[in-house]
Each structure stands twice: as structure tokens, then as C-alpha cells.
Structure 1
Amino acid sequence: MVSVQTDIHIDRPREEVAGFAANPENAPRWYVNIHKSQRLDSGPLGPGSKVAFTAKFLGRELNYTYEFVEYVPGQRLVMRTAQGPFPMQTTYTWTDDDGGTRMTLGNSGSPSGFSRLAGLVMEPMIRRETRKDLQKLKAILEGDSRRWPPGGEPH
């Protein structure tokens, strides 16, 4: 079982942080490894909404689909994928925090077969990548391009 949870304070209102982070179109802007996202359905986001992502992880390009299983705008989003050798669940939570927002990003999954061994190596890598993702999100929303220039790395 892999379970990683990271959080960050973002000096913006909760509704703004949650609205930006929950919008699948924005994922390639703040997720370091996601290069493409596409809604697979129309209408408002909610349970049952599906989004296809293309990401690069461990030098490989991965294509996967997440389904929203819970969505409370401004508070909580839970997405899950059951495909592939590494089924994952990603959870976002947003809470008011000292005049800004505390965003928590959690990833959990149960690798099977050979992936079970990879899971031991993947947990610290996932933790490091999610920290980068949250730092990039913070820089975008707080308007500090010096901390994360487009296409660049954090300083």
C-alpha cells in the first residue's frame, strides 16, 4: 500500500484555490508530470465525471483515466482510477488557514504483482513530486513567477 499526503499554505481564498485546482484543464499547469488533460464528458464536474491524463513518470509516458467519486466544491475532491497495474486514489482537501487556504493532496494505491515492489520505491518519489506540484500551484496562484518560471524548476 502506498499512501502519501502533503499539504501547503496558499495565500489566496479557499474558493479560488479549490476552483483552480479542481478544474482538470488546469492540471498540466501545476502538476509537474502531467502534460495533457481532457474531460471525457460534459456538464458540471461531479461524481461520475471522467478525465483522461497523460503524464510522464519514471521516464515513461502514462495514459490513465480518473473518475470523480466525491466532489464538494471548495472543500473536497476524490478521484480514482482502477486501470493498470497501479490503481490510485487522489484526494484534494481545502480548508481556511490563517487568511489563506491549506490544500492537502493525498495519493494512495495498492500495487499488485511486480508493482508491489515498485511501490516501496515509488512512495518517496510520489511524495517529492506532490511537494513540487503544490509549490508550483502556490507560485501560480500567488502570482510569484520568480519562484517558478514557466517551464522552470523551483528555486
Structure 2
Amino acid sequence: MSIVDVSTEIVIARPRHDVAAYASDPDTATTWYANIAAVEWKSAKPAVIGSRIAFVATFLGRRLSYTYRVTELVPDERFVMRTDEGPFRMETSYAWSDAGEGLTRMVLRNRGEPSGFGKIAAPVMAAAMRRANTKDLARLKTILEATGAGE
């Protein structure tokens, strides 16, 4: 069994509520995730447990379409989404904690079990995810630390 489990984190100089509100809003995903091209709500906004959101992304040169279902939502603490179908079942989770006065630690974790060719490419996939997640969190930090951004 080839499981991909990639966890990355960053400290952002913004209060936890601001970071969590921005990062857990699927409508902001195209601004801070380089690989996400489009987001489409399949259920009513805002996100609640059970909400379904479709994403179109590019990863390792391939166009991917997948729908996440929100499975856990604890405001300002945790946000978890899972795919139920597709070639690569994935769970994406965000966790936020205080990291000092006005600082927030955000952990982005992607965990899944690839099928088909993905099983063979799992180590390459994990390395590519880690690089992409590190860049995406850096972009999120830049956006949120810019004056007035995310408000």
C-alpha cells in the first residue's frame, strides 16, 4: 500500500481568526494555491460539514478535476476536506494554532492513497506535493501579511 502523507507548516504574522477565515474559504484557493485553476460550489455557501466543492487543478503536468466534501470544521482551529472518488483519494486538512502575539502557525496536510500509476509514482508525488505546498503557504503568508489583504 502506497500512502502519500505530506505535512507542511508556516508561521504567519496575522491573528489566527484572520488566517483561518481566509484559508478555509474555498473562494480564495485560486489566489494562494498555484495549481488550482477553478473552484465551483456544489452546495450552498458558506462551507459547513457536508459541503461539496469542486476544484480544477494541474499537478505534475496533468489536469485534475475532483470534488471535496467538508468532513470537519472547527472555526479557527481545523478544516478538513476529503475526496470520495477519482484516481487519487485525498484528504486535505488545515490546522491553526497561536504562535505568539499576533502570530499563527498553519499546518497544511495532504494524505491519500494513489491508485494505478500513482502507486508507483507515490514518492515522486509526495516530493512534488511538499514543494507545491511550501510555495503555496509562502504565497498565503505574503497575501495575508500585506496591508489590509484578506480583510
TM-score between the two structures when normalised by the length of structure 1: 0.90
Cα distance in 1 for partners of 2:48, 2:74 equals 8
Cα distance in 2 for partners of 1:46, 1:139 equals 27
- Segments of 5+ residues of structure 1 without an aligned counterpart are 145-155
Deviation per CA, 1:21-62: give whole Å up to 9, x if none.
Answer: 000000000001001111111143211001110111111211
Shift of residue 142 of structure 1?
Answer: 0.3
Q: Counterpart in 1 of 2:33?
A: 31
TM-score between the two structures when normalised by the length of structure 2: 0.92
Q: Counterpart in 2 of 1:9?
A: 11
Q: Does 1:91 align with 2:96?
A: no
Once superposed, what is the RMSD of the aligned Cα atoms?
1.1
User: 1:133-148 to 2 correspondence within 5 Å?
Assistant: 133-143=136-146
The percent of aligned pairs where both chains have the same amino acid is 49
Q: Does 1:18 align with 2:28?
A: no
User: 1:6-155 to 2 correspondence within 5 Å?
Assistant: 6-99=8-101, 100-143=103-146
The runs of at least 4 consecutive aligned structure 1 residues that moved more than 3 Å come to none
- Segments of 5+ residues of structure 2 without an aligned counterpart are none
